[in-house]
């Protein structure tokens, strides 16, 4: 059995042969055939005289000397060898007259019918670099023509490019030029193969163009959709498809695309118009903002057309058409739709041949999400061929959404519109999902309403109050060098005390350059910050232990060394082990007894933060129970306490 690629090669070869593109003859440099031979070889003309070599060819070619792969890697013009009248007659062309242009490029004398001799000037000789640049331009032109669907013009441009590089002479001394010539020759060969393959293999606009191949990847997705963890999602999405799919199918048929593509939103969004992905892709067709802009989906304060079912469908059709012109294979098109054409093209370029006629050649090299995307889509098509087999015949599809439009030029809230025309706000929200905040823009806007309600809305629009957005309570100001709260207050026509209350500034109104302040707008009431009430001071006692100091004790009980000295009538800071001190606990309760904690020996590389995090303690609490400060150092082997 032949593979798909071999069958494609045979088709191309048959086309080239029947269309006259392979008019080749055998041009081997062999001796004349033996006497008495009844047949003449291709390297010897019918008259028996030696064939004239074609100097336009770098090497002599024969279809019998090349393998099928080599044939298709050689451009059509390279393999052409027209049989001229000189070959048939055996007569050599007339020798050039003296003065004729030779390899030296000297002027030649040409004689007219009147017998007068004229001197002809040879055309200027182009540099090899210029010829290579010109050939490369023709290659680029061919690529553009191919993407526009003009295959014949693309082939002609490639023929021009190849004719240019065949004319390169005397470049044997420059290896760089030789390499550039070979690279161009190979590029042209691949482009010709791509164009002929796309002409005979790619099917444009056929409704059955998407192959449904059931392999282990597709079968795994079928199982997930029908009896796996995604079965509920699939049924719910299938139910919602009734709202939008009839419209999508109609537009796909009008565009000449396969109607099976109408199931893409099931995989992309589950037919949810407000579906938002982690990559910020939004809507039925999951457009990211940049791709949406490219295909005319506007996004502003009021509207995001990625959530508009009709406009996003038109954009998706345009995008799919563009991708199909690039790749020519619907499975590869779907992969590019998911992860972007740039990613797929990079994968294709990494292969030896810059063309793929089978998506599964790409499968292992694509991102995991994209690699699963195509099998999920094919699994959906397989399930939809026989919904009853998978229990979907019991799912009642939602009815298609019916509406008419009424153009208004007033900023109104859907809540007020619904009240004026006596329908529910939820109905208007469902019909107009592209309105980001349920507010129509101030410019003319086609608002969707239930059928028969449009005239009612136009009659009542004058009585609907215009929407006025609430004024912000604060504006923000970044402090600059030399500014004070007083100067900022004068600038915004407010008071110092209002700014201080809004930003909880201290009584000295200290502000820092670069800090952002909230400035209350005129008419805004700033709540008074609640005054902190002093806690009831409860006296407690602390028995001095080894390692204690007034500073550690004060920090532990949330007080100061001066308060401890005052309560205990101490004149200095010297303490004795076993001494009992009265301590006023004004901030926090004493730390738990170390009997309630467990000891831990510090290891090499440990830090207080690492130990606290490892034992699910806050750093402040760890330092407190171990009587450490943020600047304290710990050493391997030191004993600390943890929870």
What's the confidence (pLDDT) of residue 65? Answer: 42
Least confident of 253-262, 306-315, 552-561: 552-561
Structure tokens at 49: 């005289």
- DSSP-derived 3-state class of residue 126: coil
**Bridge-partner residues for 581, per DSSP?**
542
Domain co-membership, 455 together with 493: no
On average, the pLDDT of the chain sits at 75
pLDDT at residue 201 greater than cutoff 60? no
Q: What is the C-alpha separation between 128 and 135, in angstroms, rounded?
A: 11
Domain co-membership, 258 together with 386: yes
Q: How confident is the model at residue 592 (pLDDT cuts 50, 70, 90)?
A: low
CB 164, CB 134: distance < 8 Å: yes
How confident is the model over 602-635, as pLDDT tens digits?
A: 888 888 888 888 888 888 788 888 888 777 788 8
Query: How would you classify the pairing of strands 445-449 and 474-478?
Result: unpaired
Residue with tokens 């002599």: 60
pLDDT at residue 83 greater than cutoff 80? no
Domain co-membership, 558 together with 481: no
As a residue count, the chain comes to 643
Domain co-membership, 142 together with 230: no
Structure tokens at 73: 């890697």
Domain co-membership, 343 together with 383: yes
Nearest one of 126, 84, 128 to 105, comparing CA atoms: 126
Instruction: Please tell me which of 328-332, 362-366, 406-410 the model is most confident about, judged by mean pLDDT.
Output: 406-410
Q: What is the C-alpha separation between 581 and 553, in angstroms, rounded?
A: 10
In a domain, 60, yes or no: no
Q: What is the C-alpha separation between 34 and 538, in angstroms, rounded?
A: 128
In a domain, 77, yes or no: no
CB 284, CB 272: distance < 8 Å: yes
In a domain, 367, yes or no: yes
Domain co-membership, 255 together with 221: yes
Q: How confident is the model at residue 109 (pLDDT cuts 50, 70, 90)?
A: very low
95-100 contacts: CB < 8 A, separation 24 or more? none
Q: Burial, 252: exposed, middle or buried (Cβ in 10 Å; 0-12, 13-18, 19+)?
A: buried
pTM: 0.49
In a domain, 52, yes or no: no
How confident is the model over 247-284, as pLDDT tens digits?
A: 999 999 999 899 999 999 999 999 999 999 888 899 99
End residue of a domain, out of 463, 493, 512: 463
What's the confidence (pLDDT) of residue 204? Answer: 39
CB 436, CB 300: distance < 8 Å: no
CB 404, CB 448: distance < 8 Å: yes
The CATH number for 608's domain is: 3.10.350.10
End residue of a domain, out of 394, 424, 440: 394
Q: What is the C-alpha separation between 340 and 360, in angstroms, rounded?
A: 17
End residue of a domain, out of 394, 423, 452: 394
CB 292, CB 315: distance < 8 Å: yes
Number of independent structural domains in the chain: 5
Q: Burial, 104: exposed, middle or buried (Cβ in 10 Å; 0-12, 13-18, 19+)?
A: exposed
Residue with tokens 């019991």: 394
Q: What is the C-alpha separation between 12 and 19, in angstroms, rounded?
A: 10
Range of the domain at 142: 128-200
pLDDT at residue 591 greater than cutoff 60? no
Least confident of 122-131, 160-169, 628-637: 122-131
In a domain, 43, yes or no: no
The CATH number for 420's domain is: 3.10.350
Q: What is the C-alpha separation between 609 and 617, in angstroms, rounded?
A: 9
What are the angstrom distances between the C-alpha of 95 and each of 90, 99, 101, 169, 453? 15, 12, 12, 22, 91
Structure tokens at 364: 């292992």
Q: What is the C-alpha separation between 264 and 573, in angstroms, rounded?
A: 79
Q: How confident is the model at residue 209 (pLDDT cuts 50, 70, 90)?
A: low
Mean pLDDT for 533-562 is 73
Q: Which helix (H) or strand (E) holds 222?
A: helix 216-227
In a domain, 3, yes or no: no
In a domain, 266, yes or no: yes
Please, which residues have CB within 8 angstroms of residue 301's CB and are 6 or more apart in sequence? 436, 441
Query: In degrees, to the nearest 5, what angle opens at C-alpha 335 toward C-alphas 330 and 341?
Result: 100
CB 579, CB 543: distance < 8 Å: yes
Mean pLDDT for 323-338 is 83
What's the confidence (pLDDT) of residue 141? Answer: 86
The CATH number for 259's domain is: 1.10.530.10
Domain co-membership, 413 together with 385: no
Domain co-membership, 227 together with 315: yes
Domain co-membership, 232 together with 350: yes
Domain co-membership, 324 together with 411: no
Domain co-membership, 586 together with 624: yes
What are the angstrom distances between the C-alpha of 624 and each of 259, 553, 608, 617? 70, 10, 11, 11
Mean pLDDT for 6-29 is 44
Domain co-membership, 244 together with 339: yes
- CA count, 13 A, side-chain hemisphere, 48: 5
Query: How would you classify the pairing of strands 445-449 and 404-408?
Result: antiparallel
- Inter-axis angle of helices 368-385 and 330-339, to 10 degrees? 130
Q: Which helix (H) or strand (E) holds 128?
A: helix 128-147
Q: Burial, 358: exposed, middle or buried (Cβ in 10 Å; 0-12, 13-18, 19+)?
A: middle
Task: Estimate to the nearest angstrom the gap between the alpha carbon of 43 and the chain centroid.
Answer: 56
CB 643, CB 616: distance < 8 Å: yes
Phi/psi for 296 (5° steps) reads: 85, 20
Phi/psi for 408 (5° steps) reads: -125, 155
What's the confidence (pLDDT) of residue 530? Answer: 47
Q: What is the C-alpha separation between 346 and 425, in angstroms, rounded?
A: 48
Catalytic positions: 268
End-to-end alpha carbon distance in the chain: 73
Task: Estimate to the nearest angstrom the gap between the alpha carbon of 322 and the chain centroid.
Answer: 15
Nearest one of 264, 253, 274 to 384, comparing CA atoms: 264
Q: Which helix (H) or strand (E) holds 69?
A: helix 68-73
CB 590, CB 540: distance < 8 Å: yes
pLDDT at residue 537 greater than cutoff 80? no
In a domain, 209, yes or no: no
10 Å Cβ neighbour count for 380?
Answer: 22
């Amino acid at each position: 059995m032949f593979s798909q690629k071999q069958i494609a090669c045979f088709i191309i070869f048959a086309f080239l042969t029947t269309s006259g593109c392979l008019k080749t003859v055998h041009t081997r440099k062999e001796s004349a055939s033996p006497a008495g031979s009844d047949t003449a070889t291709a390297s010897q003309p019918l008259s028996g005289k030696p064939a004239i070599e074609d100097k336009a060819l770098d090497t002599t070619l024969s279809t019998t000397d090349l393998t099928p792969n080599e044939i298709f890697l050689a451009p059509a013009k390279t393999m052409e060898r027209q049989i001229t009248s000189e070959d048939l007659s055996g007569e050599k062309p007339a020798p050039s007259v003296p003065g004729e242009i030779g390899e030296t490029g000297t002027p030649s004398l040409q004689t007219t019918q009147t017998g007068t001799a004229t001197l002809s000037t040879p055309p200027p000789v182009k540099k090899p670099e210029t010829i290579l640049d010109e050939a490369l331009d023709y290659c680029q032109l061919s690529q553009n023509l191919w993407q526009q669907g003009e295959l014949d013009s693309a082939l002609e441009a490639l023929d021009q490019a190849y004719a240019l590089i065949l004319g390169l002479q005397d470049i044997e001394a420059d290896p760089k030029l030789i390499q550039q010539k070979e690279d161009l020759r190979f590029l042209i060969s691949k482009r010709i193969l791509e164009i002929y393959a796309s002409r005979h293999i790619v099917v444009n606009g056929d409704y059955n163009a998407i192959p449904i191949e059931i392999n282990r990847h597709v079968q795994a997705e079928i199982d997930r959709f029908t009896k796996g963890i995604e079965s509920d999602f699939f049924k719910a999405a299938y139910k919602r498809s009734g709202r939008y799919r009839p419209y999508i199918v109609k537009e796909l048929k009008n565009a000449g695309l396969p109607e099976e593509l109408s199931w893409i939103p099931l995989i992309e969004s589950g037919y949810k118009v407000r579906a938002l992905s982690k990559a910020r892709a939004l809507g039925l067709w999951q457009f990211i903002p940049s791709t949406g802009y490219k295909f005319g989906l506007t996004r502003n304060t009021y509207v995001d057309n990625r959530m508009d079912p009709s406009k996003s469908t038109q954009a998706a059709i345009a995008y799919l058409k563009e991708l199909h012109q690039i790749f020519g294979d619907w499975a590869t098109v779907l992969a590019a739709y998911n992860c972007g054409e740039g990613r797929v093209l990079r994968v294709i370029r990494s292969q030896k041949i810059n063309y793929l006629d089978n998506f599964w050649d790409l499968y292992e090299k694509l991102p995991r999400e994209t690699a699963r995307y195509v099998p999920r889509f094919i699994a959906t098509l397989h399930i939809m061929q026989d919904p009853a087999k998978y229990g979907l015949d019991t799912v009642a599809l939602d009815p298609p959404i019916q509406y008419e439009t009424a153009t208004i030029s007033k900023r109104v809230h859907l809540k007020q519109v619904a009240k004026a025309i006596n329908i529910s706000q939820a109905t208007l929200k469902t019909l107009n999902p592209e309105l980001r905040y349920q507010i129509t823009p101030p410019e003319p806007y086609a608002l969707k309403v239930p059928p028969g309600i449009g005239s009612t809305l136009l009659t009542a629009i004058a009585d609907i109050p215009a929407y006025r957005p609430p004024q912000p309570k604060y504006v923000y100001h970044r402090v600059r060098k030399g500014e004070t709260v007083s100067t900022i207050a004068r600038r915004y026509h407010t008071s110092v005390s209002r700014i201080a209350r809004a930003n909880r500034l201290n009584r000295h109104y200290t502000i820092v350059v670069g800090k952002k302040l909230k400035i209350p707008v005129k008419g805004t009431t700033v709540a008074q910050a609640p005054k902190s009430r002093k806690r009831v001071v409860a006296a407690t006692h602390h028995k001095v232990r080894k390692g204690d100091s007034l500073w550690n004790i004060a920090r532990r009980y949330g007080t100061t060394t001066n308060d401890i000295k005052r309560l205990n009538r101490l004149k200095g800071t010297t303490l004795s082990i076993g001494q009992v001190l009265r301590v006023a606990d004004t901030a926090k309760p004493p730390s738990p007894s170390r009997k309630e904690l467990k000891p831990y020996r510090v290891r090499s590389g440990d830090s207080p933060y690492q130990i606290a995090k490892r034992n699910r303690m806050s750093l402040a609490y760890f330092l407190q129970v171990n009587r450490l400060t943020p600047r304290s150092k710990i050493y391997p082997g030191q004993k600390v306490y943890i929870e």
